[in-house]
Structure 1
Amino acid sequence: MKKTKIIIYTLVGGLLFYTINSIILNKSQASNQTENSEVISKQNNVNFELPNFENAAAKAIKSVVHIKSKFLQNSIYRYYDPFFGNRYFKQPKEEVASGSGVIISSDGYIITNKHVINKATEIEVVLNDKRTYNAKILGTDPNSDLALLKVEANNLDFLDFANSDNIKIGQWVLAVGNPFNLSSTVTAGIISAKSRKINILNDGGIEAFIQTDAAINAGNSGGALVNTDGQLIGINTAIQSNTGSFTGYGFAIPSNMAQKIVSDLKKYGEVKRAYIGIHISDINNDIKEYFSLNGLNGVLVSKVLSNSAAEKAGIKDLDVIIAINDITVNSVSELHEIIVQFSPGDEIKCKIKRGKKTIDLSFNLQE
C-alpha cells in the first residue's frame, strides 16, 4: 500500500514538474520570437525603406519648362507642267521642334540644350502653370550642347545647382521634362555611371555625362536631372538606343559643367575655356606595357604643347596625371569634366607620377 502511494505521488510530481517546465519554456520561446520579430522588423525598415520623391518632384516640375522652337525648313513640292512634265520647287515651311528647359533664376534665365533651339526663328516657353513667354537666345555652346535663354518675367520658381562632383553611383535621381509633348513628366531611377563619353559631339566637344536609368525620351532634352532634395545635378541631353526610344541608358550634362558654361554665356555671350596645354589619353594594358608604366591609374600625357601652362609648370611627355585639386583622375573624360569648371587664369594643383616618383605641381590655366 505504501509502495503504491509512493508511486502515485512520484507520478503526480513528475507530471506537475513537466507541465510547469513546459509553460515556462513556451513563454521563453514566445518572448524570443517576439524579440526576433522586432529585430527583423527593424532591419526590414532599414533595408527596404524607399526615398520619398514627392517634394523633389513638386519642386522640379514648377521649374522645368516646355520649349517650342519654330524654324523654317524647305519643303519640296511637285506640280505638272503640260509642256515639261513633272516640275519641282522648294517652299519654306514653318516647323516646330519640342524640348525642355530649366529655370535657373527667378528673373527668367533658362538653360537648355543647343540642339533643342537649333535654327529657331522664334522660341516659345510654356511654364508648368501654362503661362507662355517668348524667349531670347543669349548664347549657345556647341562644344557642350548647351544654350542660355531669357524670358522677361520675375518671381519665377527655379532650381538650385547641386555640386555634381559629390554625386554617387547608385544614388536616386528624378528626370523631369516633356517627352512626346507630355508636359511635366517625372521619372525615377539611379545614377548608373559618371564621366561617360558616348561620342555624340563634334571634334572639340566635351563629354563627361552622368548616365542614368531614369526614363528619358524625345522631348526630355534640356530638362532637369535632380536629386531627392530637388536640386539640379544635370541637364538631360541624350539617350543611347537602337530604336530611338528609351532602353535604359540616358545621359545628362553634370551641373558643375553646366553652371560654368551658362555663367560665361550670361557674362560674355561665349564660353571662356581654360586649358592645361597637353594631349592626353586613357591608360589601358597595351599603353601600360608599351611605355613601361607602373600602373593603370591616371591619364597619360602623350604630348606637352610648346609654351603652354603645362610646359611652364614642368609637366613632361609620358607623365601620368593622377589627381587635379585632390580629385582622383582615371580617364580623359574625368579630367575634362574637372578642367571645364575653371576659367583662364585660375590656379590648379596637379599630382603627377613620373616613373616611381610622385610630384605635386601648382600652376595657372591658360586660355
Structure 2
Amino acid sequence: MARDRSFADDDFPEPRPHPIAPWAAVLGPSLLVLAVLAGLFFFVRTSRERPSLIPDAQLRETTPRISFNDIEKARIALFKTIKPSVVNVDTLLVQRTFNFGVIEQQQGTGSGFVWNKQGHIVTNFHVIQDAIVKDRRLTVRVVMADRSKWNARFVAASPDVDLAVLQIDAPEDQLVPIKVGTSHDLEVGQDVFAVGNPFGQNLTLTTGVISSTDREIQSPTDRPITGAIQTDAALNPGNSGGPLLDWDGRLIGVNTAITTTTGGSVGIGYAIPVDTVNEVVTRLIREGRDPRPTLGIVALREQLTRDLGIAEGVMIQEVRPNSAAEEAGLQGIRKNPFTGAIIKGDIITAINNEAVTSLRDLQKVLEKFKVGQKVTITILREGQELTVTGTLKGL
C-alpha cells in the first residue's frame, strides 16, 4: 500500500534574500509616502464627484396633452377600425414528442385579412406556398387581432397573380370583413396605409403615399403581374398578404413585394391592385380555381408601347405556344430573318368589335368571355388592319 509522501523542509531550496540597491533604501520611504498621498487624493476627489441621492425625490409633474390633431385622430380611428380585419398567417411544422407532447416550429409568417363572414381569409400565395406545394406536413394557422388562433383550410389559389384563399371556423362575431375599394382611380401622391406582420411584429401600421401605379412585378410562377401599386409605406418580410388601405379604410391593394438591397424596406414596395384582387378572389371562392380566359400573349409594357409612338392598343411582345394567339396566327416582336431589323409585334385594337386601347381594356374585355369561347381579334400588323379568330384558353 502506497503511503502519503510529506515534504520535509529540506525538500525545497531555502529562499535567498535579494540584495537591495543602496538608492532604493533611501527612496523607498519617500515612494511609500507618495503612494499614500495619491490614494488619499483619489479617494477625496471621487467622493466629491459621486452624485448625491435625494431620499424624498418625487415623480415629475406631467404636462397634459391638449389633443390629437385632426390627421392624427383620423389615422388612429382608421387603425382601430381596420384592426379586427387583419390577421397573421403562419406556417408551422407540428411534431409529436416521445412523451406524446407536441412541438410547433414556425416555418414562415405573413399577413392576411378577413374577406367575408364565412371565414374566408385572403393572403399571398407565396406566404403559404410551402405548406400547399412543398411540405404537406406544414399547418397553416391564422391568428386574429384578439390573438385567437385558428387552423386554416386551403380553399384555392391563383399563383399567377400571387393570391390565395383560406378558410377558418371562427364565429361570425369575430369575423370583421375588410371594406373593399377600387384601384383604377388611384392617384400618385395620395396617402396610403399598410397593416401587417413585419418580422413577426403583429398589427404594425406604416404610412406613405402612392409612388406610382401600373408597375409590373413577378408572380411565383414568373408571370408578370401588371398594374401593381408602388408605395413608400414601409413593407418588410411578413407584410406579404396584408392590406394596403386608403383614408377611408378601404382595401386598395394586397402588399406583395419589395425592391431592396438590404432585405428590408428601402421605400419601394408593391401591392396587387384591388380590382384584380376582387375578381380573382371571387372566382377562387366561387369555382375553387381561377380559370381566367386568355389569348396567351405577353404584352409589351404599356409605357414602352406609347414610347414607340403607338397611342392606342396592346402590342404583342411574345406569343405563347398552344394558345388562342398562336391558333389565330398572331405575331410578337421579332427580327427580320434577312436584315436583322426588329419588326414590331401585332397591335390588338379590338376583341369581338369592342375597342381595346390599353392592357386594362384587354383584361376587362376578356373577363366577359369564358374559356373555350371563340373570339374575333382585330389587329394592326405593319400598318394593315386584320381580323382573325381564336379560341380562349384558361390560364
Give the TM-score category using the shorter length. Answer: 0.5 to 0.7
Structure 1 residues 76-98: Cα deviation after superposition (integer angstroms, max 9, x where no partner): xxxxxxxxxxxxxxxx9944311
Question: Which of 100, 112, 123 is equivalent to 2:111?
Answer: 100
- Partners of 1:195 and 1:337 within 8 A in 2: no
Distance across 1 between alignment mates of 2:212 and 2:252: 13
Aligned equivalents of 2:104, 2:176: Cα separation in 1: 35
Q: In the alignment, is residue 71 of structure 1 matched against residue 93 of structure 2?
A: yes
CA contact (8 A) 1:294 1:355 kept: no
Measure the CA separation in 2 of the matches of 1:349 and 1:158.
40
CA distance in 1, matches of 2:312, 2:71: 36
Instruction: Give the Å deviation of 1:189.
Output: 0.9
The answer to whether 1:344 aligns with 2:363 is: no
**Shift in Å at residue 141 of structure 1?**
2.2
Aligned-partner Cα distance in 2 for 1:359–1:59: 53
- Rounded to whole Å, the distance in 1 between the matches of 2:318 and 2:80 is 50
CA positional deviation for 1:112: 0.5
Aligned match of 1:61: 83
Query: In structure 2, how many angstroms separate the alpha carbons of the residues matched to 1:118 and 1:311?
Result: 31
Cα distance in 1 between the residues matched to 2:376 and 2:187? 23
Residue 55 of structure 1: how far off its partner (Å)? 3.2
TM-score by length of 2: 0.62
Higher relative contact order (CA 8 A, sep 6+): 1
Amino acid at match of 1:239: I
Call closer, same or farther: CA 1:95–1:283 in 2, change over 3 Å. closer
Note the alpha carbon deviations across 1:28-75, whole angstroms, 9 max, x for none.
xxxxxxxxxxxxxxxxxxxxx9693333322222100012211379xx
In structure 1, the partner of 2:264 is 245
Distance 1:220 1:229, change over 3 A: same
Distance 1:199 1:278, change over 3 A: closer
Cα shift readout 1:291-339 (whole Å, capped 9, x = no counterpart): xx7536543235778997669999887442468877852x6xx578657
Distance 1:50 1:323 in 2: 46
Q: How do 1:256-271 and structure 2 match up within 5 A? A: 256-271=275-290
Aligned residue type for 2:314: V
Select which of 108, 118, 125 maps to 1:114. 125
The match for 2:310 is 295
% identity of equivalent residues: 34
Equivalent runs, 1:156-235 vs 2, <5 Å: 156-199=175-218, 201-235=220-254
| Bigger Rg, structure 1 or 2 | 2
Residues 224-281 of structure 1, C-alpha deviations (whole Å, 9 max, x = no match): 0011111111111111100001000011111121222222222222211111344532
Local SS of the residue matching 1:130: coil
How far apart in 2 are the matches of 1:110 and 1:223?
A: 11
How many residues are matched? Answer: 294
Q: CA deviation at 1:362?
A: 12
SS at match of 2:316: strand
Matched residue, 2:151: 134
Q: Distance in 1 between matches of 2:202 and 2:109?
A: 11
- How does the TM-score come out when normalised to structure 1? 0.66
2:335 is aligned with 1:320: no
Matching residue's letter, 2:315:
L
Q: Which runs of no fewer than 5 residues in structure 2 stay unpaired?
A: 1-69, 96-102, 132-137, 333-344
CA distance in 1, matches of 2:198, 2:262: 15
Query: How do 1:32-43 and structure 2 match up within 5 A?
Result: none
Report the CA distance between 1:171 and its aligned residue: 1.7
Distance 1:327 1:53 in 2: 40
Distance 1:99 1:246 in 2: 15
Question: Is the Cα contact below 8 Å between 1:163 and 1:256 reproduced in 2?
Answer: yes
**Could you say what secondary structure the match of 1:197 adopts?**
strand
In the TM superposition, what is the alpha-carbon distance from 1:117 to its structure 2 partner? 1.5
Match of 2:27 in 1: none
Q: CA deviation at 1:177?
A: 0.5
Aligned CA distance change for structure 1 residues 147 and 219 (closer, same or farther; 3 Å): same
Q: Is the 8 A contact 2:183 2:253 kept in 1?
A: yes
Partner residue in 1 for 2:47: none
Distance 1:68 1:93 in 2: 11
- Residue 146 (structure 1) aligned to one of 163, 179, 187: 163
